[in-house]
Structure 1
């Protein structure tokens, strides 16, 4: 997979941007900005960030100590109606029991050019919303008023926090162009942060130290027997502050490409993890700086490790579940299926329990941590070597650097003589070592009871198959009719079961017909839908008239019918990101075509065999002509879940040749 090489690539410098001394401020929108019809560097852009500035500094009071203040100001230009979503902004903030954050928006306005004059519309109270996401997080949203094509919108928000473990992650790039992006940090000497930069663009960085002081009012604490009329004095706190400025300019939009698991993994950004706290006259406090210390810290959390020790709520139920079972494999599967059947996932991510495993079991619903920590506890209870595995989901991004927020998910693992068995009971269709796609994101971190941890490769090694057996005949009008059998295994099966869950058969078949050149389907059946140990099978008859052309009495037909791929998914000339399939796969088609009475074969596509270097995958197209039939066997195989960008030119050429071969026609002529 060459993951190490990819990580190195992510930190290489592809561009260099010089710092711009221009001072960007809210409120000074220009006529030129409002008159601009398209973005200068990207005419397809629906909107653009004209500037975005972030700054983090610290304030101090006697009562509250240090507070971290994060301030963000943004100006955005709207070019097209599709860009209206950029006139909405949502920001999350922490509302947990300790260290609650305060978030406020200000200077929110929309600017339009009306009859040559700039018109400003301010945000009204009904355009701001506050919601509770869960017991830890709230979210404030604003919807800017009077937005039109050509508008410029501005806003500012400030977050006051006593949570210093990390600074806000600053993304210099976005899905729209960014003209100017700036991030400043003003860090007192009492805190050391490790900056981590990822992405393909290198921001310009300047750093300087200076002497600073903070003035605050000090009033001695009154002890019993003291004079109650103690005076308040003005105190001064002197320290050295490190000012760091990151600037990047003229950044292109981060556009989605085929088979990218999460574009944020490759977006240029900087994050800061607190490594040392060093207050005067106090011992240094060293925090998480490597994966072992990060995972030990998480394991010791009250809503993580201690939850694994609770067993009383399930012990009697497990006696029934395990009755008559002796082997480890039987016990693993029985407990796994019991948890899946007993507790439904409430769609909340996270590695911390909200209400605890006991309540989740009683209420039959819980978050990821409650379900999979419960599963781990049950497996341990019956003597199996089970441990939680911390995971960063595909939507959360790859965990490049050691920090406590790198993970947002947890699964269970059982150590067996044949290797780890990975389990996730949040998905009703998952099976041992077949995790939901959201969890297939490079590597996780297994934590043992003693606090030690090991890296766990989450990416599948075995191929998931999609095998089609199709027999059809062509009549003299070029119309086709036949039967099809389709078998899906492993990840192809879990995806199919998930996509068809709670969908009525009529609705599914109507969609299937429309997506496949308006075929007509009859005699449909589906087997092994609930038996997850077996491949899921589809069987149906079909007919259609959109697959052939009759020219001069000859019939031209694509032998693959509606299975032929017509467009290369890889359109970029150069690709900087890896191709992430999620899992290895084998697509195989065994097709038999009956020739109509009175016709013979004039030509068929020539056979083709393609093999990519380093055994990444291959394509085989074999075709034979019999007396009154044509037989075709086609396979398309990818042997690795992730193909690094170095192979992109080869992969693109491979797909182009494969698609061209799939779309070559059989020609039938009259005898």
Structure 2
């Protein structure tokens, strides 16, 4: 049974801790396959899994040059045909400036035949290769040989990093269930590390420290896998894991210097950092034309909008993220290209130069994970944005992300916490949006012929976040856009002559106009008419029996669908679904349907609204049940009978 409902967070500084759970399982040595592992055909605590991680362990230490040395090995077994995909191993590392390097790779596949010994195949050097992902990251790929159902895969390697600053968090949980997970760490002399454990209350953890060596051990067992769920936020928020951060060091003459253990200390550290705060004081040679143009703009909001639009439209994001500038704002200005931190720190610099009140805002996008305000782990954040104050209004700008008008919060950070980096006005803030919605209005005119075929035209007006989301989806993949938003409502539904309006005007809805056709669905003299068209809910998205993550829509939802369907004189309405209104007990979701027939015109109106954008995993059963009933009602068909 899967285990996730409530999460326990344990924190400690200096890695000095008493044992929380004494149970320690001795793991088999590399290449030593146990009889239990050979006979395993199903994961008892996650029976849906197509493979299972038998063990995952790593130990972190240092060499004489105080490089971070991590020895890691992993063993897994394929349980189902779909599990064969786990035979393609990928190990990423920071290759820029030789920050990290992967070495001493050794890997094997074991297959077991009845009546004979194990068949062992070692990975050859030609099956191991390196691939550059971008300017910062590379990956080692390992093609495991002869992977099939029943195979056991095991591999090990060493990661050498320049310093302990590149110590990764340890994840006990993955997409696959994990039987044994172990991590140990030796802290360098004179250094202190803080750590935080995120886990469910239902899973025990073992934490031990050796007094002589200073090594600390973490261990968990029998952890179910966490797989993708509809409308989930960052899986990182729900994975059982431990996070690390350097918290202090002892000086040569004694005494301990604390390092970023409060938000104030984090602010001081960031503002004095050459790749962060120092960039805000750089004098960018913008030129007289730029300066004179800004002086001619009287309104602070218009001035902010001009700077933001200029940067967004004229500077190219190179795909790299982070919170510190890699090239510097001057170089970014000249080359018109940079990382998200390069571009957004340059944006803040320009806003401040224009005498606007602008600050760096550290954010963690929903896909990256939640920010815990109790402790200033800088790794909680994955991006820096601009935070602008104009009178009582607050604006959040991202010139290196998906296009968002300056009067809207970027969709990727709604429902998150962020950190304003400023000594006087800094602190944690919540980025919420209760006014702007994912709002659509659908207007349909159609006719049904004697065979039951429906033809018509639809106009969809997409406002605010619906406008942004649909335009982005259209630009990414036009064919998939039509499938996702239009043709999934009924088999055989086709659309033609799609036209867009207002694509370049952020203050107006994005209008989609198209024709559509639906083939007849008939049973003898009866014709069935589907009324659930372009509603956003073709079917119930919540079908799993259990939910591990929160349901996060990102923003509030609003859908209105109005249909006018002309019926042929030869067919009469045999069965008309009743008018209905559904509402959640806390009024967070409402749905209504109204139908009437005037002469030969069938008039239909659906409305669906939400007043909350986040529902916890504990509320899943209520949401699932509501959507089940709602989708059944919306998919009720009108029955027409031949006269």
TM-score, scaled relative to structure 2: 0.89
Question: Are 1:112 and 2:103 counterparts?
Answer: no
Aligned in 2, Cα 1:287/1:423: closer, same or farther, shift over 3 Å? Answer: same
CA distance in structure 2 between the aligned counterparts of 1:343 and 1:325, rounded to whole angstroms: 22
Range with greater deviation from structure 2 (266-275 or 294-303): 294-303
| Corresponding residue of 1:408 | 382
Question: Secondary structure of the residue that 2:513 maps to in structure 1?
Answer: strand
User: Residue 7 of structure 2: which of 5, 10, 28 is its match?
Assistant: 10
Aligned twin of 2:53:
49
Which residue pairs with 2:212 in the alignment? Answer: 211
Would you say 1:23 and 2:27 are equivalent positions? yes
The equivalent residue for 2:625 is 653
Structure 1 match to 2:125: 125
- CA deviations 1:6-32 (Å, max 9, x no partner) are x9932279xx99834333211112465
CA deviation string 1:421-449 (max 9, x = no partner) = 1111124632114354434461111112x
Q: Give the deviation of 1:273 after TM superposition.
A: 1.9
Could you tell me how far 1:34 is from its partner in structure 2? 4.1
Q: Classify 1:151/1:523 alpha carbon distance in 2 versus 1 (closer, same or farther; 3 Å).
A: closer
Partner of 2:145: 145
Residue pair 1:398, 1:441 contacting (<8 A) in 2 also: no
Structure 1 position 535, deviation (Å):
1.1
Q: Distance in 1 between matches of 2:433 and 2:149?
A: 46
| 2:431 matched residue in structure 1 | 458
SS at match of 2:504: coil
Q: Which stretch of structure 1 is more off in the superposition, 249-258 or 143-152?
A: 143-152
* Equivalent position to 2:593, from 613, 621, 639: 621
Q: What is the Cα deviation at residue 209 of structure 1? A: 4.2
The within-5 A match list for 1:552-563 is: 553-561=525-533, 563=535
* TM-superposed deviation, 1:611: 2.1
Give, in angstroms, the shift of residue 562 of structure 1: 5.8
1:268 correspondence with 2:240: yes
- CA distance in 2: counterparts of 1:383 and 1:82, whole angstroms: 58
8 Å contact from structure 2 (residues 535, 561) kept in 1 = no
Aligned equivalent of 1:497: 471
1:618–1:600 CA distance, 2 compared to 1 (3 A): same
8 Å contact kept, 1:414–1:420: yes
Q: CA deviation at 1:176?
A: 1.0
Q: Structure 1 556/161 Cα, relative in aligned 2: closer, same or farther at 3 Å?
A: closer
Match of 2:86 in 1: 86
Residues 36-45 or 418-427, more deviating: 36-45
User: Within 1, Cα distance between the matches of 2:550 and 2:257?
Assistant: 39
Cα distance in structure 2, aligned partners of 1:137 and 1:255: 25
**What is the deviation of 1:347?**
1.6
Work out whether residues 577 and 644 of structure 1, in 8 Å CA contact, stay in contact via their aligned partners in 2: yes
* Equivalent-residue separation in structure 1 for 2:551 and 2:476 (angstroms): 31
**1:298–1:404: 8 Å Cα contact kept in structure 2?**
no
Residue deviations 1:496-523 (CA, integer Å, cap 9, x gap): 111222766x896688775453334344
- Unaligned segments of structure 2, at least 5 residues: 11-19
Q: 1:222 matched to which residue of 2?
A: none
Contact 2:206 2:220 in 1 (8 A): no
State the shift of 1:458 in Å: 2.6
Decide whether aligned partners of structure 1 residues 104 and 279 sit closer, same or farther in structure 2, where only a CA change above 3 A counts: farther
3-state SS, counterpart of residue 445 of structure 1: strand
Farther off after superposition, 182-191 or 45-54: 182-191
The one-character-per-residue Cα deviations of 1:237-269 (angstroms, maximum 9, x if unpaired) are xxxx2x433222221111222111122210101
Contact 1:181 1:247 in 2 (8 A): yes
Contact residue 296 and residue 451 of structure 1 kept, 8 A? no
2:320 alignment partner in structure 1: 348
Distance 2:341 2:544 in 1: 40
- The aligned counterpart of 1:291 is 263
Alpha-carbon distance change, 110 to 339 in structure 1, aligned in 2, over 3 angstroms: same
Distance 2:537 2:481 in 1: 21
Is 1:316 the counterpart of 2:317? The answer is: no
Q: What is the correspondence of 1:602-617 to structure 2 with a 5 Å cutoff?
A: 602-617=574-589
Matched residue of 1:398: which SS?
coil
Q: What is the deviation of 1:75?
A: 0.7
> Is contact 2:7-2:198 (8 Å) kept?
yes
- Give the corresponding residue for 2:14: none
1:598-639 Cα shifts (integer Å, max 9, x gaps): 333333222222222334221121222322222221111122
Alignment of 1:592 onto 2:564: yes
Query: Where do residues 322-333 of structure 1 align in structure 2 (5 Å cutoff)?
Result: 322=294, 324-333=296-305
Superposed CA RMSD: 2.9
Tell me what 2:184 maps to. Answer: 184
3-state DSSP of counterpart to 2:389: strand
> CA separation in 2, counterparts of 1:260 and 1:650?
16
Contact 1:321/1:335 (<8 A) preserved: no
Q: After TM superposition, give the deviation of residue 536 of structure 1 in Å.
A: 0.5
Check conservation: 2:9, 2:196, Cα contact below 8 A: no
Shift in CA distance, 166/428, structure 1 to aligned 2, threshold 3 Å: closer
Q: 1:438 to 1:127 in 2, by over 3 A?
A: farther
Using the alignment, how far apart are the partners of 2:264 and 2:133 within structure 1? 30
Q: Is it true that 1:202 corresponds to 2:203 in the alignment?
A: yes
Q: Which moved more, 1:385-394 or 1:143-152?
A: 143-152
Partner of 1:233: none
Determine if the alignment matches structure 1 residue 633 to structure 2 residue 605: yes
Q: Give the Cα separation in 1 of the matches to 2:231 and 2:147.
A: 34
**How many residue pairs align between the two structures?**
625
